[in-house]
Amino acid sequence: MFGLDKKDSTLLLIVAVLTMFAPFILNPFPEGSALAQFNAGYPDLMQRFVIFGIFAIGFNILFGLTGYLSFGHAAFLGVGSYAAVWMFKLLSMNVIPAIFLAIVVSGLFALLIGFISLRRSGIYFSILTLAFAQMMFALAYSVLTPITNGETGLQLTLNDPRVLGQSATADGSIPVTSLFGMEMRQTFQLDMGAWLFQFNVGYYFSAVIMLIAFFIAIRIFRSPFGMMLRAVKSNQQRVNYTGLNARPYTLAAFVISGMYAGLAGGLLASMDPLAGAERMQWTASGEVVLMTILGGAGTLIGPVLGAGFIKYFENIFSKINDNVLHEWFAFLPDGLENFVVFVMHPFIGKGWNLTLGILFMLVVIFLPGGLVEGGQRIAKLFRKGKAKDSAKPTTKPAE
């Protein structure tokens, strides 16, 4: 299918099914129930799942294939967001031109930064990318205020000189982003008894983009170009001894990875037309590193799983508070209920990072290959169980 072998076609099909049926998969508990807190099938969170999945897929092309660890990839995410919002302000509210500009501008920035940073490798490369990202964050936050609007962030106004379309709607409000007339915020609801499923235009647009990005990543992984990047990761010195110059390959991987980040930034701005300097901060770069390692660096589906895992914890566990805990453990005696809530309090709400940190430590210690390795181990156990059952001798009754 699409020039892929059976294994890759199956993987692409699995990702497509998971994304297309996400409103059902992520809403397993009835509305109003105690466990409805863990539902994640609402548009804003689903959009973040697939957009940051794109971000992690692109980062994995650089880190997973070449071994070059960048701590400044959030710079391209921010640049893509700024470029998209400026396109909305100047040209049209259609998301296609904005996303195209975000990819191009972030690719140009990646070319410049990569050309300088890739003169070094290892920790020196990582420090250079971090330094560039922090410089860009500082520029966006203060120096380039006329372009970025500083700490307030770049957003749409009624005075935008939009060439195509109008700057204000008939009721005097700011127009919303759309795809050839379909608003990104448009949502259809399906009531099925105690369950409520939401189907959002912006989510499905982002999901289709993620599937295309995932397909391109598969082709890169399986191409001679991808094999060359793996050779660089394995032993770049040996590659140089063969007479091949590895720098053009690593620079191409860096630019492609930066364009993926710009695409994610453009999609973030398309869902919510606001771009702020905080998207370029070093913590955002560290987050995509965690996503890739947690899911499984160098694997195809790992970064997508890692992105979904972290964004789920960020949005679900951070909303749990003491009142929710008291509702869950109301069946316990008062003293025991208060004790349980006291013990769990540091791990929820604002302390969700502590829970995520513990889970990340457990994964790194026991599953160095990330969540993908965990899935492979479970599948291996099932295969062993089936092999043992089939190997059992069968006895025939005596005649």
Sign of CA dihedral 111, 177, 283, 294: negative
| Structural domain contains residue 309 | no
Scan for tokens 């993620």, then name that residue: 210
Global pTM value: 0.90
Query: Which H or E run includes 238?
Result: helix 224-241
CATH number, domain with residue 128: 1.10.3470
Rg of the chain over Cα atoms, rounded to whole angstroms, equals 24
Name the stretches of the chain with pLDDT < 70: 1-2, 385, 387-399
Question: What percent helix, strand, coil does the chain show, rounded to 5?
Answer: 70, 5, 25
Q: Which residues of 273-282 are buried (b: 16+ CB within 10 A; e: fewer)?
A: bbbbbebbbb
Instruction: Answer whether 301's CB lies under 8 Å from 295's CB.
Output: yes
**Number of independent structural domains in the chain:** 1
| Structural domain contains residue 104 | yes
Residues 6+ apart with CB under 8 A from 64: 292, 297, 298, 299, 303
| Structural domain contains residue 167 | yes
User: Which structural domain range is residue 30 located in?
Assistant: 6-282
Is 391 buried (19+), middle (13-18) or exposed (0-12) by CB count in 10 A? exposed
| Structural domain contains residue 328 | no
pLDDT tens for 326-344 read: 888 888 888 888 888 888 8
Instruction: Answer whether 371's CB lies under 8 Å from 305's CB.
Output: yes
pLDDT at 383: 78
pLDDT at 399: 46
Smallest CA-to-CA distance from 67 within 284, 296, 214, 230 is with: 230
Q: Can you tell me the distance from the alpha carbon of 63 to that of 256, in angstroms, rounded to the nearest whole number?
A: 12
Residues 6+ apart with CB under 8 A from 321: 348, 349
Query: Which H or E run includes 386?
Result: helix 370-391
Q: What is residue 335's DSSP assignment?
A: H
What's the token pair of residue 183? Answer: 């608003």
| Structural domain contains residue 393 | no
Q: Can you tell me the distance from the alpha carbon of 288 to that of 149, in angstroms, rounded to the nearest whole number?
A: 25
Q: How far is CA 224 from CA 220, 239, 325, in A?
A: 8, 14, 53
| Structural domain contains residue 106 | yes
pLDDT at 142: 85
